[in-house]
Amino acid sequence: MKTFALKTLVGTVAVLAVSTSLLYFLDLPFHYTPLLPLFFTIVCFERHAARRIAAAAAGGVVFFFLGHELPLLFVVVMFFQLYFFVRAAFTVTTFDFLVVLFFALFFSCLIVSADFALYRSAFTGSFPLGDLVFSASSNFGWLVLLFLFYRSELRELFVRSAWL
């Protein structure tokens, strides 16, 4: 875990706000990008619980007001799922941290995609399997590109200061 500067957490929430607004204005589905899982991996890596929870709550408010028109209950449930899953994933220290980070991001993307597919199936009556598969493969592609081109930056950002 790492103690981030306050400007890092505020900047992360600001990037979430700009990215969410941009996706909304361009009419692109948010679940085709790993935006929320990346936000939660940065926020949940904060050492101090109060700052971590405050940043996650601020991100939830920003996403609810600036993102796609989704019910508050859906956003709250999805944010709780992501928060607890990413926090649990960061307790695994037996593997290389970048491997844990990749799988935490990928499974977080699957959580977002599955939640959105369940939300849509609840209101339309049909399960969008094609959308779910495309969303999962799109997120996988984004994550592979992220880890191919920004591996050293990810290692710098997520260096554990209390490893040994």
Residue 164 lies in a domain: no
Q: Which residues pair with 2 in a beta bridge?
A: 46
The per-residue pLDDT string of the chain (164 residues; one tens digit each, 9 = 90 and over) reads 677 778 888 888 999 999 999 988 998 888 888 888 988 888 888 888 888 899 989 998 998 998 878 888 888 999 999 989 988 888 876 667 788 888 889 999 999 999 888 888 888 888 888 888 999 999 999 999 998 998 888 877 776 554 44
pLDDT at 125: 80
The confidence score (pLDDT) of residue 94 equals 64
Task: Say if 162 falls within a structural domain.
Answer: no
Q: How far apart are CA 68 and CA 147, in angstroms?
A: 27
Cα maximum dimension of the chain: 51
Residue 110 is predicted with a pLDDT of 92
Backbone angles phi, psi at 2, to 5 degrees: -140, 145
Rounded to whole angstroms, the Cα distance separating 103 from 48 reads 24
Q: Is residue 72 part of a domain?
A: yes
The answer to whether residue 163 is domain-embedded is: no
Q: Dump strand ranges (E) for the chain.
A: none
Question: In Å, what is the CA distance from 78 to each residue of 49, 57, 151?
Answer: 19, 12, 27
**Count of the separate structural domains present in the chain:** 1
d(CA 39, CA 12): 7
Q: Tell whether 11 is covered by a domain.
A: yes
Which amino acid is present at 11? G
Domain span at 61: 6-157
Tokens of 72: 């508050």
**pLDDT of the residue at 164:** 41
The span from the CA of 160 to the CA of 163, in Å, is 6
